[in-house]
């Protein structure tokens, strides 16, 4: 879209939730010709330049070309809900895209970034900083902006840092009851803004505290109820959250919709999800997300709200209670006591390429610093990428009201007793929720393990795993000490260990090489699967890229 003068042109991916308020503020200085948030964002940039970012409530990645100044400005939302990738060209140019496959199809180098892969295998860390799993293709981190011009080249800066703002505002001094009231108002306002849509809006409901609170507050939106609630199931009562979902919906008009994932469909879905993600993703839980969005698509529900973010902002995870005993450079896998990675199975020269993540500690408090790490580096960035690609695979839009920066900043300003008390995290959130949720949901145990991935990989998917890890491409790549790797796989199949993270890592490498970039072939095109049009998702993809 261009402004009336033709001097500025914008491309936008995402939503500016408060565009109506911004439009009203700008209407005396800008003549609007459409009713879109895109035009409002363009007018905001013309009026306030880069400072417009601090006025936006939304999820976005956008780029604006200034024809007069011959420069590009691009930015990503505060936590990186919407993606933006770039590659620096040999002659000094810059290519940008919402997907890695777009840059690859345009001619960017299609080779693995061995440092990213080594780091992933050694520590389990990914989706932090600029590095992707593709050599020469970088991601713009959440809360960052860039400028580019033919004369000055590329410059990147951070425009949003929740720790800096929380420290500037200072520790919360109000009684917890007043803070709970303030949090409730912020939650309501955030959800209200994210219900702005000219299509049907539903809710992802896991049965846990956060998504149940989201559903309860969504019922207060005028005209929103009855709602369509979507829940992922795997057919195993040890993992399924159906009892808590049913307790939440027992006396209400809202509809429960259950998306069942079965072992037999996991291989095809894993191939489709690998192509959609462009990089390794979070295993069966991500496939479960895909099933939810597939079902929502069948029902004609275009927008879904998700409860992501409260655990990080308000210290909900169990490991926050032992923050001073953890290695902050490695993101923990919830619910596991066994080692999650197998660096001893890597070839030594390859293993030495791994980067060690060194977190900043702006608060000087172990719990707050872990929360900050999770929000900005090791948990939320990758979780948002998994969720965004899983939803967009089926052309659904996923919105995260609890990641509203106002809610996050309020959480980071709380004294310890408002976050962790009586052996429980998210203490103040739980007090707020008591006015909305039934007792079974309030007292439901924290369920850190979401799927029977370990059991499925050892059982019904065992042959599929062996076929991938026994391939020539896996063994001849030179990244693994194959004797050690085979021993680790055999021990896993014999029942050793309480998690399957390392096995999924290795499986991800082979899935990626088969469905994203075949290194033993000429470059392959990233064609859409047959029958897919206009960006619509599909549940199956060609087994090999089309040359």
- Tens-of-pLDDT digits for all 547 residues of the chain? 999 999 999 999 999 999 999 999 999 999 999 999 999 999 999 999 999 999 999 999 999 999 999 999 999 999 999 999 999 999 899 999 999 999 999 999 889 999 999 999 999 999 999 999 999 999 999 999 999 999 999 999 999 999 999 999 999 999 999 999 999 999 999 999 999 999 999 999 988 899 999 999 999 999 887 899 999 999 999 999 888 888 888 767 789 999 999 999 999 999 999 999 999 999 999 999 999 999 999 999 999 999 999 999 999 999 999 888 888 888 777 777 888 999 999 999 999 999 999 999 999 999 999 999 999 999 999 999 999 999 999 999 999 999 999 999 999 999 999 999 988 899 999 999 998 888 878 776 666 657 999 999 999 999 999 999 999 889 889 999 999 999 999 999 999 999 999 999 999 999 999 999 754 443 333 333 333 333 333 333 233 332 2
How is domain 8-162 classified at the architecture level of CATH? Answer: 4-Layer Sandwich (3.60)
pLDDT at 522: 38
As to burial, measured by CB atoms within 10 angstroms (0-12 exposed, 13-18 middle, 19+ buried), residue 290 is: buried
H-run or E-run covering 8: strand 8-16
Phi/psi at 344 (5° precision): -70, -15
DSSP class of residue 355 equals P
Distance CA 466, CA 458 (A): 10
List CB contacts of 469: < 8 A, sequence separation 6 or more.
485, 489, 506, 507, 510
Per-position DSSP letters for 226-254, written without gaps between them: S-EEEEEE-S-TTT--HHHHHHHHTTSSP
pLDDT tens digit sequence for 88-101: 999 899 999 999 99
From 61, 59, 21, 71, select the one nearest 43 (Cα to Cα).
21
List CB contacts of 52: < 8 A, sequence separation 6 or more.
41, 44, 45
pLDDT tens digit sequence for 291-311: 999 999 999 999 999 999 999
Distance CA 438, CA 249 (A): 10
Contact 359, 329 (CB under 8 A): yes
Other residues' Cβ atoms within 10 Å of the Cβ of residue 181: 13
- Counting residues of the chain whose pLDDT is more than 70, the rounded percentage is 93
Could you give the C-alpha distances from 474 to 23, 114, 271, 339, 482, in angstroms and in order? 54, 14, 16, 22, 9
Contact 357, 128 (CB under 8 A): yes
HSE-up of 489 (CA within 13 Å, CB side)? 21
Decide the pairing of beta strands 303-305 and 397-399: parallel
From 138, 157, 139, 137, select the one nearest 147 (Cα to Cα).
157
DSSP class of residue 404 equals -
Distance CA 476, CA 484 (A): 15
Residues of the chain with CATH 3.40.50.620: 172-331+361-442
What is the fold of 172-331+361-442?
Rossmann fold (3.40.50)
Per-position DSSP letters for 516-542, written without gaps between them: T--TTSS----PPPTT--TT---S---
Contacts 24+ apart (CB under 8 A), 69-73: 69/149, 70/149, 70/150, 70/151, 71/147, 71/148, 71/149, 71/152, 72/146, 72/147, 72/148, 72/149, 73/45, 73/145, 73/146, 73/147
pLDDT tens digit sequence for 179-228: 999 999 999 999 999 999 999 999 999 888 999 999 999 999 998 878 99
Q: Is the peptide bond before 415 cis (omega within 30 degrees of 0)?
A: no
From 176, 139, 193, select the one nearest 406 (Cα to Cα).
193
pLDDT tens digit sequence for 137-179: 999 999 999 999 999 999 999 999 999 999 999 999 999 999 9
Contact 437, 248 (CB under 8 A): yes
Could you give the C-alpha distances from 288 to 229, 449, 451, 453, in angstroms and in order? 15, 13, 9, 11
Residues of the chain with CATH 3.60.20.10: 8-162
From 101, 13, 55, 78, select the one nearest 381 (Cα to Cα).
78
Other residues' Cβ atoms within 10 Å of the Cβ of residue 360: 13
* Helix-helix angle 176-194:405-412, to 10 degrees: 160
């Amino acid at each position: 879209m261009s402004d009336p003068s033709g001097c500025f042109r914008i491309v936008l991916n995402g939503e500016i939730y408060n565009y109506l308020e911004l439009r009203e503020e700008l209407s005396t200085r800008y003549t609007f010709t459409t009713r879109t948030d895109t035009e409002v964002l363009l007018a905001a940039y013309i009026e306030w330049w880069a400072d417009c970012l601090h006025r936006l409530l939304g999820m976005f990645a956008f780029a604006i070309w200034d024809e007069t100044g011959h420069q590009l400005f691009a930015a990503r939302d505060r936590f990186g809900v919407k993606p933006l990738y770039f590659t620096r060209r040999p002659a000094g140019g810059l290519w940008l895209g919402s997907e890695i496959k777009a840059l690859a199809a345009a001619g960017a180098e299609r080779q693995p970034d061995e440092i990213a892969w080594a780091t992933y295998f050694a520590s389990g860390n990914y989706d932090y900083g600029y590095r992707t799993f593709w050599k020469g293709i970088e991601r713009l981190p959440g809360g960052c902006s860039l400028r580019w011009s033919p004369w000055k080249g590329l410059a990147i800066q951070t425009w949003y840092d929740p720790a800096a703002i929380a420290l500037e505002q200072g520790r919360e001094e109000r009684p917890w009851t007043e803070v709970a009231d303030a949090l409730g108002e912020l939650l309501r306002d955030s959800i209200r803004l994210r219900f702005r849509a000219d299509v049907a809006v539903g809710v992802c409901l896991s049965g846990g505290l956060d998504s149940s609170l989201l559903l309860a507050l969504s019922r207060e939106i005028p005209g929103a109820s009855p709602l369509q609630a979507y829940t992922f199931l795997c057919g195993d009562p040890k993992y399924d959250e159906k009892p808590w979902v049913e307790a939440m919906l027992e006396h209400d008009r809202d509809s429960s919709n259950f998306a069942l994932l079965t072992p037999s469909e996991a291989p095809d879905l894993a191939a489709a999800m690998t192509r959609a993600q462009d990089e390794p993703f979070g295993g069966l839980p991500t496939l479960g997300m895909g099933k939810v969005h597939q079902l929502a698509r069948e029902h004609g529900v275009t927008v879904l709200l998700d409860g992501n973010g409260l655990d990080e902002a308000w210290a909900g995870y169990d490991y926050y209670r032992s923050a001073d005993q953890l290695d902050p450079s490695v993101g923990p896998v919830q619910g596991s006591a066994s080692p999650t990675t197998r660096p001893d199975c890597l070839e030594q020269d390859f293993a030495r390429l791994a980067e060690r993540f060194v977190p900043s500690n702006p608060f000087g408090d172990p719990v707050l610093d872990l929360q900050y790490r999770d929000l900005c580096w090791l948990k939320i960035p990758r979780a948002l990428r998994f969720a965004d690609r899983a939803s967009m695979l089926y052309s659904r839009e996923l919105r995260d009201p609890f990641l509203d920066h106002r809610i996050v900043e309020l959480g980071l300003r709380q004294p310890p007793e408002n976050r962790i008390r009586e052996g429980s995290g998210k203490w103040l959130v739980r007090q707020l929720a008591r006015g909305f949720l039934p007792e079974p949901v309030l007292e439901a145990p924290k369920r850190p393990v979401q799927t029977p991935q370990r059991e499925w990989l050892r059982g019904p998917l065992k042959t599929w795993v062996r076929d991938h890890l026994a391939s020539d491409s896996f063994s001849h790549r030179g990244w693994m000490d194959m004797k050690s790797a085979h021993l680790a796989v055999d021990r896993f199949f014999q029942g050793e260990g309480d998690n399957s993270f390392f096995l999924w890592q290795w499986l991800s490498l082979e899935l990626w090489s088969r469905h994203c970039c075949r290194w033993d072939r000429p470059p392959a095109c990233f064609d859409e699967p047959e029958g897919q049009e206009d960006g619509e998702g599909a549940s199956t993809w060609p087994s090999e890229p089309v040359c």
